[in-house]
Structure 1
Amino acid sequence: MTGTRRRGRLWAGASIAVTVVLAAGLYWLQPWKLWQDETVREALPVAVAPSEPGAAAAVPGAAPAAPVTVARGTLISHEHSTTGEVELIRLPDGSHTLRLTNLDTSNGPDLRVWLTDAPVKEGVAGWRVFDDGRYTSLGKLKGNKGDQNYPVPADVKVADFTSVTIWCDRFDVSFGAATLVGV
Structure 2
Amino acid sequence: MSRVRRLMTSPVVIGALALALVALGFGLYWFQPWKLWTDATVDESVPSAVAPAPTITPSVTPSVTPTATPTAPAAPRTVASGTLISHEHSTSGTVRLLKLADGSHVLRLENLDTSNGPDLKVWLTDAPVREGKAGWHVFDDGAYVSLGDLKGNKGDQNYPLPAGVDPAAYTSVSIWCDRFDVSFGAAALKKV
TM-score (norm 2): 0.85
CA deviation after TM superposition for structure 1 residue 5, in Å: 8.0
SS in 2 for 1:107: coil
The runs of 5 or more residues in structure 1 that have no matched partner are 54-63
In 2, distance between residues paired with 1:151 and 1:16?
46
> Which one of 44, 47, 66 corresponds to residue 46 of structure 2?
44
> Which one of 8, 12, 36 corresponds to residue 10 of structure 1?
12
2:187 aligned partner: 178
> Which one of 41, 61, 73 corresponds to residue 82 of structure 2?
73
What is the identity percentage for the equivalent residue pairs of Structure 1 and Structure 2? 68
Query: Radius of gyration: which is bigger?
Result: 2
**Partner amino acid, structure 2, of 1:156:** V
> Which one of 26, 29, 42 corresponds to residue 27 of structure 1?
29
Task: Say if 1:6 and 1:74 are closer, same or farther in 2 by CA, change over 3 A.
Answer: closer
2:69 aligned partner: none
The runs of 5 or more residues in structure 2 that have no matched partner are 56-72
**Partner amino acid, structure 2, of 1:25:** G
1:57 aligned partner: none
SS in 2 for 1:34: helix
- Asked if residue 100 in structure 1 is aligned to residue 102 in structure 2, the reply is no
SS in 2 for 1:176: strand
In 2, distance between residues paired with 1:27 and 1:82?
24
How far does the alpha carbon of each residue in 1:128-154 deviate from its partner, in whole angstroms, 9 at most, with x for none?
A: 000000000000000000100001101
1:59 aligned partner: none
In 1, distance between residues paired with 2:143 and 2:52?
32
1:160 aligned partner: 169
SS in 2 for 1:130: coil
Task: Say if 1:51 and 1:173 are closer, same or farther in 2 by CA, change over 3 A.
Answer: same
- Asked if residue 147 in structure 1 is aligned to residue 153 in structure 2, the reply is no
- Asked if residue 137 in structure 1 is aligned to residue 146 in structure 2, the reply is yes
CA deviation after TM superposition for structure 1 residue 22, in Å: 0.7
**Partner amino acid, structure 2, of 1:77:** S
- Asked if residue 90 in structure 1 is aligned to residue 90 in structure 2, the reply is no
Q: Following superposition of structure 1 onto structure 2, how do residues 106-125 of structure 1 map, counting pairs within 5 Å?
A: 106-125=115-134
In 1, distance between residues paired with 2:170 and 2:139?
11
In 2, distance between residues paired with 1:42 and 1:18?
43
SS in 2 for 1:115: strand
* Equivalent pairs, count: 171
SS in 2 for 1:118: coil
In 1, distance between residues paired with 2:172 and 2:54?
35
Runs of 4+ residues over 4 Å off in structure 1: 4-7
SS in 2 for 1:149: strand
The two structures, once aligned, show a CA RMSD in angstroms of 1.7
**Partner amino acid, structure 2, of 1:126:** G
